[in-house]
Structure 1
Amino acid sequence: MRLLLALLLATSSLCLTMASYAADKTVIAVIVANDNPIKSIAVGELKLIYWRKKTYWSHGQRIHPINLPPDNPVRLHFSTSILGSLPNTQSDYWNGLYFHGVSPPHVLYSDEAAIRYVQETAGSIAYVDACKLDTRVKAVLWILPNGETSTDAAAIKCN
């Protein structure tokens, strides 16, 4: 009974945490370099890339996924929408893979750093606040505030 109660409390806590991010979420753009031949990406493929289960693009280039810091609201939205968990709950997964030589995606500390990295590093992929997007990179997926995804440019309202 105690285990069931603990599980219910943990689940409701996760739901409340995820809901608290919903109010201030923005549209996220998943980005790759302009010379990357992919035009869009499926959510399933994106999950595999960020869980480091897919490491090469279909054209043979190594994939270099980039994360934002664990407490960044864009990362929180990406993690809950795409990976189905919060960054702080993913450590057991990465600890288990560490001894197999698999590391989590590198962390960069700003949207600008992620954009520059993707622009300059062949095979890289990242996600940024769509309002920070410019012509240096291209978006291959949009994650909307409600967690749904689209391969079409979303109607973005930036201040």
Structure 2
Amino acid sequence: MRGFISLLLLTLGLCLQATGMAADKSVIAVIVTNDNPNKSISLGELKLIYWRKKTYWANGQRIHPINLPPDHPLRLQFSNSILGSTPSAQNDYWNGLYFHGISPPHVLYSDEAAIRYVQETAGSIAYADACKLDNRVKPLLWLLPNGETTTNPSFVNCN
């Protein structure tokens, strides 16, 4: 009985910890290369890019969208707020497009990997924790923890 109670308490603790971690949302920055001519991006355009319905920038350059892993907290926040669904709920969509030769955005495993990819890959777009950015990339949009978007960087508080 004592082992069962210990297991129950451990499980409850892990559930509470996971719930707390999910509640700690970050400000997400949507980033592009510094030489990208865009100064901002609309929510509609961002959706089209990540659903792979828009594949070229206005200047004719191919767009290379990047995602974080499906279970990454920023990916969950981005997918729910921008795309309106979880990564797992998007599987049927991507499976249907697979036979038309359309693949989902590439997945990189960390904010730093996404930042480096964008820095080095013309036409790329990604998202990362706004507090991890530096001058290697250019932010176009910020996704706030409450799900709203802004083009005003003053909402980012990295203290």
TM-score normalised by structure 2 residue count: 0.85
Q: Note the residue ranges of structure 2 that are not aligned, 5 or more in a row.
A: 1-18
| Paired-residue identity, % | 78
Q: Which residue of 2 aligns with 1:75?
A: 75
- Whether contact under 8 Å (2:22, 2:73) holds in the other structure is no
Q: Give me the whole-angstrom Cα distance separating, in 1, the residues matched to 2:50 and 2:78.
A: 11
Q: Secondary structure at the match of 1:56?
A: coil
Q: Per-residue CA shift, 1:48-106, capped at 9, x if unaligned?
A: 00000000000110000000000110010000000000001100000000000000000
Q: Which residue of 1 aligns with 2:63?
A: 63
For residues 90-129 of structure 1, the aligned pairs below 5 Å read 90-129=90-129
Deviation at 1:21, TM superposition (A): 7.1
Distance 1:20 1:50, change over 3 A: farther
- Whether contact under 8 Å (1:22, 1:146) holds in the other structure is no
Q: Give me the whole-angstrom Cα distance separating, in 1, the residues matched to 2:156 and 2:44.
A: 24
- Greater C-alpha Rg: 2
Q: Secondary structure at the match of 2:109?
A: coil
Distance 1:84 1:118, change over 3 A: same
Q: Which amino acid aligns with 1:142?
A: W
Which stretches of structure 1, 4 residues or longer, exceed 6 Å deviation after superposition?
19-22
Q: Which residue of 1 aligns with 2:16?
A: none
Count of matched residue positions in the alignment of Structure 1 and Structure 2: 141
CA RMSD in angstroms, aligned pairs only: 1.4
TM-score normalised by structure 1 residue count: 0.85
Q: Note the residue ranges of structure 1 that are not aligned, 5 or more in a row.
A: 1-18
Q: Give me the whole-angstrom Cα distance separating, in 1, the residues matched to 2:81 and 2:134.
A: 23
